[in-house]
Amino acid sequence: MLSRPGLLQTLRRTFASTSTSTASSPSLIASLKQISPALLDQNPYELDRHGRGESFHPSLPPDAICHPRSAEEVKQIVKLCASTGTALVPFGAGTSLEGHVGNASPHITISTTKHFNKLVSVDPASLQCTVQPGITRHQLNHELRDTGLQFMVDPGADASIGGMAATNASGTSAVKFGVMRDNVLQVKVVTASGEEVTAGSRTFKNSAGYDLKNLFVGSEGTLGIITELTLRLHPIVDNIVSSVCAFENLTQACDAVVMLLSCGVPVAKCEVLDGPAIHAFNIFSKDVADMTPQPHLFVELQDISDGGLLSQQEMVEEILRDCGGSGIEFSADPAVRKKLWAARHATYYASCALRPGEGKGIVTDACVPLGKLASVIAATAKDVEESGVVGPVFGHAGDGNFHCILPVRDTDSDEYLKKLEDVNDRLISRTLAAGGTCTGEHGVGSGKAKYLDQQYGEGAVEIMRTIKKSMDPQNIFNPGKIIPNSEG
């Protein structure tokens, strides 16, 4: 009955019992144990957990999990897997939203958050630090708290820095502080030969040769295993205000964003939420505000001085009002701001909770040229409403990046799932027609691979395939991810 089986079949698989692991060579497992007895994990719960992220993609568990403590151990693991042609998948905090972790091939997972999660060094005068890949962003900022510096990239989840680099993640701070590619200065990576290479440099600028650093950042574990990252840090600024502002429609809200950026307002965060998203948000943030369920902008401003902050605030208020904003409220209270952004970060979970029952969310991740945001986001919200599905829309308006969360339940009918699939397909088509990308911050994984040809054309995808083949000729690193038909 359904012409496009992809997403629907995937969803059905998600709710089926998870696949059992296909045994990798017993001698490989024995050899991995040799590296260190504490290194290997075959606990069934952990195998299942390491086979999936947080979205609808089904668990594809590994045969075994390795918890290395050093680059030296990663090198040994890679060499062992290379010698047996066994696939290897890196795993951080398990917060992937596009089926990056787990693999349809029999594979070993390298899990980083248990033992490979240290802050290696901080160089405050150079505004940077060096970390192992398994450290999470909250853990990192906690450890940095006495330096006056912080790491700015903030996806919703408490992801690992290695995982964030692998997907070129970002979040609400990207509009001012950039994405992972802007904040990772250097990476060390164990490549297919089992050697560790250094890409990038510990400088803010670098024109020395091909940009291998940015090739590894965003490569989703398909070109090697990241073993160390040097990160750009930013000073903690105390003068901050957050504002919320309602609009009659999404077009007005997005036009206000264009106006803010065109006037050069250095917004620190700039988030849009549609009516249904505000409804979901309200449920998770009763102690922050009870907002009318209509489109809102959340704008955060920061400045080194009170005077500068006040000037920004005045200009923002004027722009928001000129663009039709109402009920504008500013708050400088750190407690209020903290709750506001905690609730905003939880919008994915809040959106999933709009539909009761056991389930997950399809998380779209469209990003369009800023001037196209109003039309694309408004058309998406309208499509969701007319299709009769639940799908709050919200996102990083200053970047032209938004998410439409489509919660799925194990009890959903084929008809409902087909509606979700169609909404998703039309969203991607609309995004690409506007010159956008199918993923602004989540990565391709197994979920978006089918759109790459459409987005870039065959030529660019063929170059990606060429690079993958030349750097991983055995196809051991997270096979089948990113590049359409690159598996096997």
**Using CB under 8 A, which residues numbered 392 to 451 contact its own copies?**
396, 399-401, 435-444, 448, 451
Q: Which of residues 182-201 bind its own copies (CB under 8 A)?
A: 182, 191, 193, 195-199, 201
Rounded-to-integer distance, Cα 350 and Cα 405, Å? 10
Residue 24 near its own copies by CB under 8 A:
no
Stretch that binds its own copies, among 35-43, 47-55, 102-110, 164-172 (CB under 8 A): 164-172
Question: Which of 371, 418, 424, 425: binder of its own copies (CB under 8 A)?
Answer: 371
| Torsion angle of the four alpha carbons 132, 138, 140, 145, in this order, in degrees rounded to the nearest 10 | -170
Report in angstroms how near the CB of residue 92 gets to its own copies at its nearest. Answer: 15
Nearest CB to its own copies, comparing residues 40 and 166: 166
Rounded-to-integer distance, Cα 248 and Cα 393, Å? 15
Q: Which of residues 260-279 bind its own copies (CB under 8 A)?
A: 261-266
Question: Which of 8, 127, 354, 379: binder of its own copies (CB under 8 A)?
Answer: 127
Residue 253 near its own copies by CB under 8 A:
no
Residue 365 near its own copies by CB under 8 A:
yes
Residue 312 near its own copies by CB under 8 A:
yes
Nearest CB to its own copies, comparing residues 307 and 327: 307
Pair 61, 18: CB distance under 8 Å: yes
What letter represents residue 488's amino acid? G
> What is the residue-wise DSSP string for 75-143?
HHHHHHHHHHT-EEEEESSS--SSS-SS-SS-EEEEE-TTTS--EEEEEGGGTEEEE-TT-BHHHHHHH
Stretch that binds its own copies, among 56-64, 78-86, 286-294, 469-477 (CB under 8 A): 469-477
Tokens found for residue 317? 């208020």
Rounded-to-integer distance, Cα 217 and Cα 237, Å? 27
Question: Which of 26, 37, 209, 488: binder of its own copies (CB under 8 A)?
Answer: 209
> What is the residue-wise DSSP string for 401-451?
EEEEEEEEETT--HHHHHHHHHHHHHHHHHHHHTT-BSBSSS--TTTSGGG
Residue 369 near its own copies by CB under 8 A:
yes
Size of the site for its own copies (CB under 8 A): 104
Nearest CB to its own copies, comparing residues 263 and 283: 263
Burial class (CB in 10 A: 0-12, 13-18, 19+), 145: exposed
Report in angstroms how near the CB of residue 371 gets to its own copies at its nearest. Answer: 3
Question: Residue 445: which of 161, 99, 162 has the closest Cα?
Answer: 99
Nearest CB to its own copies, comparing residues 47 and 199: 199
Question: Which of 203, 326, 429, 485: binder of its own copies (CB under 8 A)?
Answer: 203
Residue 146 near its own copies by CB under 8 A:
no
Stretch that binds its own copies, among 58-66, 310-318, 335-343, 378-386 (CB under 8 A): 310-318
Report in angstroms how near the CB of residue 30 gets to its own copies at its nearest. Answer: 29
Residue 345 near its own copies by CB under 8 A:
no
| 428-463 residues labelled b (16+ CB within 10 A) or e (exposed) | bebbbebebbbbbbbbbbbbbbbbbbebeeeeebee
Nearest CB to its own copies, comparing residues 226 and 291: 226
Q: Which of residues 372-391 bind its own copies (CB under 8 A)?
A: 372
> What is the residue-wise DSSP string for 197-248?
EEEE-SSS---SSS-HHHHHTTSTTSS-EEEEEEEE-EE---EEEEEEEE-S
Question: Which of 6, 85, 148, 334: binder of its own copies (CB under 8 A)?
Answer: 148
Nearest CB to its own copies, comparing residues 86 and 312: 312
Stretch that binds its own copies, among 167-175, 275-283, 288-296, 331-339 (CB under 8 A): 167-175
In a 13 Å sphere around the CA of 304, the CA atoms on its Cβ side amount to 2
Helix (H, G, I), strand (E, B) or coil at 339: helix
Nearest CB to its own copies, comparing residues 202 and 418: 202
